[in-house]
């Protein structure tokens, strides 16, 4: 069995009286692709933010490659070699595509190496034609793709993506799927998503969240045909 790269133990996050993340035990192995699904407000994004350091969990621990990272700052977690993409596109709007990707590469490489790395990633993601354009002038799908480039250029061993397919055209989603598959050759990937279509096309193992807790964790086909999961998605009471 491959090494465990991400593990949470009894992770709990409370906002006042609301328990957004409830006693989550989660394990992810190297080069695994895992989707986190669940209806709105199920606690997927809160869990994601606790893992990436954007929030500090109220209780419980987070481990990455065996090292405890609970309460670390996002930049410390990213420095370990973890690539993170947030829900809303987080890019540098007034800088060019090249400059954006170069900045991401520079964190782990020297000036010249970063230039080569950035050029390679631009080539790989087919961004050549827009490499000199400012991010602010690009279409939503292109911005999402560039943000994936920012993540990929750091050669991460763990990639955390929050709703990468949100608001994208079918063609863009297809391209995104390819990129993600390529990432899984070297990294474990966690995708938070509620677009079932996308999940069906990409997922192997799926973790279902409901009311902050893990409802079930199984192969995508089993999850999709599960009565409880269907009820949760349709807003019925979970049996």
Partner 1 sequence: MQDRMGKDVMTTLVVAGGLIWLLPQLVSTYTLTVLIIYGMLGFSLGLIWGFGGILCFGQAAFFGLGAYTYAIAAINIGESTLPMLIAILVPAIAALLLGAMMFYGRLTDVYLGVITLVVTLILFKFINSTAGPQFVIGTARLGGFNGIPGFQTLNVPGDPDAYIWGDAYYYVCAVMMVLVYLLVSALLRSSFGRIAVGIRENETRMSLMGYDVAARKTILFAIGAAIAGLAGALFANWGEIVTPGLFSLGQSAEIIIWCIVGGLGTRFGPILGAAGLAYLKFALGQQSLIDNTLITGLILVLFVLFLPKGLVPAISSLWKVSFARRSPSRVHQARRMRNRGRANG
The residues of the shown chain that bind partner 1, judged by CB under 8 A, are 52, 73-75, 78-79, 84-86, 90-96, 99-100, 102-104, 106-108, 111, 132-134, 150, 154
Nearer to partner 1, 11 or 160 (CB): 160
Closest CB 104 distance from partner 1, rounded Å: 5
Closest CB 158 distance from partner 1, rounded Å: 13
Identify the three-state secondary structure at position 33: strand
Q: Residue 10 and residue 91: Cα distance in Å, rounded?
A: 33
Nearer to partner 1, 79 or 197 (CB): 79
Q: Residue 207 and residue 72: Cα distance in Å, rounded?
A: 24
Closest CB 108 distance from partner 1, rounded Å: 8
Under 8 Å between Cβ of 43 and 21 = yes
**What is the full DSSP assignment across 157-224?**
SEEEEESTTTT--HHHHHHHHHHHHHHTTTSEEEEE---HHHHHHH-SEEEEEETTEEEEEEEHHHHH
Tokens representing residue 167 in the block: 């608001």
Closest CB 39 distance from partner 1, rounded Å: 26
Nearer to partner 1, 95 or 224 (CB): 95
> In terms of DSSP bridges, do strands 213-219 and 205-210 run parallel, antiparallel, or are they unpaired?
antiparallel
Closest CB 103 distance from partner 1, rounded Å: 5
Nearer to partner 1, 93 or 123 (CB): 93
Nearer to partner 1, 134 or 217 (CB): 134
């Amino acid at each position: 069995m491959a090494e465990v790269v991400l593990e949470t133990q009894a992770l709990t996050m409370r906002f006042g009286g609301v328990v957004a993340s409830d006693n989550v035990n989660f394990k992810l192995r190297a080069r695994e692709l895992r989707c986190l699904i669940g209806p709105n407000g199920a606690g997927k994004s809160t869990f994601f933010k606790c893992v990436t350091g954007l929030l500090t969990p109220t209780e419980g621990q987070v481990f990455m490659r065996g090292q405890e990272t609970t309460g670390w700052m996002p930049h410390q977690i990213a420095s370990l070699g973890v690539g993170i993409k947030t829900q809303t596109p987080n890019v540098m709007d007034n800088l060019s595509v090249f400059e954006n990707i170069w900045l991401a590469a520079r964190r782990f490489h020297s000036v010249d190496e970063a230039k080569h790395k950035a050029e390679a990633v631009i080539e790989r993601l087919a961004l050549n034609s827009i490499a000199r354009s400012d991010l602010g002038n690009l279409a939503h799908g292109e911005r999402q793709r560039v943000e994936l480039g920012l993540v990929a250029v750091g050669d991460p061993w763990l990639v955390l993506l929050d709703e990468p397919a949100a608001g994208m055209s079918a063609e863009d989603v297809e391209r995104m799927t390819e990129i993600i598959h390529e990432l899984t050759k070297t990294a474990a990937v966690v995708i938070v998503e509620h677009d079932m279509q996308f999940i069906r096309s990409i997922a192997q193992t799926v973790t279902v969240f409901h009311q902050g807790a893990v409802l079930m964790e199984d192969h995508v086909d089993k999850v999709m045909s599960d009565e409880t999961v269907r009820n949760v998605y349709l807003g019925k009471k979970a049996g």
